[in-house]
Amino acid sequence: MPCDTISKVLHSLSTIWSDTLNFHMLSSKKTASKTRNSGIVMFNISAILLITVGRNEIQELVNTSATVTNLLRFALLDPDKVEQKSKQSEVDDSLCDLRHWQAALSQSLQCLATLTTNSNFKTEDGKCWDEIVTDVESKTTSKQASKIRSFGFTSQTASPSQTLFNSLDRLANNMTDPMCSIVASRVKENLFG
């Protein structure tokens, strides 16, 4: 497949990825019914990104600011806090979707672990890791972060002081998901030393 075609596909996937994250960061009673199978979508997109990051000849296509920003934003969104479906008959579907969200997070962190090994990394618009992390935190920890939905709760519990370091630290210390824990530790070490 030509690089131009791959670039267009990655741009389209990045848009879907971003829209899905934005939708999940909004608090709404209708969100649960409208996001059915969104975990499967995120899982499939993250699998494509993981394959892309693993191929040297097209890895630079993932170095777009939008893709890297979306990967970092996803690390700030805790899939366990995605609201459970309200109807009892849909609980199994909800848990299955949650597993896909968790797997997508692991794959996204694997992409970040690969990309963050390059300390001289720059996006196509010249931003380095420090600038990207600062941008993501400032945009996500403002109004949106206070609207991250809580899993199983009706009250909002997201802290406005949410940082990528804290999110990665929480993921690294989560021993119930060893893959996510290991990869989050590597990303944290690569970005923050």
Look up the pTM and report it.
0.81
How does DSSP classify residue 121? Answer: -
Q: Which two tokens stand for residue 78?
A: 């805790």
pLDDT in tens, 36-46: 678 888 999 99
- The DSSP letter of residue 150 is P
Average pLDDT over residues 151-161: 40
pLDDT given at position 178: 93
Maximum mean pLDDT: which of 72-76, 145-149, 184-188: 184-188
CA distance 54 to 140: 28
Question: DSSP state, 85?
Answer: P
Q: What is the mean pLDDT of residues 93-120?
A: 87
What does the mean pLDDT of the chain come to? 78
Q: How many CB atoms lie within 10 A of CB 153?
A: 11
pLDDT tens digits for 159-188?
Answer: 445 789 999 999 999 889 899 999 999 999
Q: Which helix (H) or strand (E) holds 21?
A: helix 3-24
Q: Which two tokens stand for residue 154?
A: 């009706």
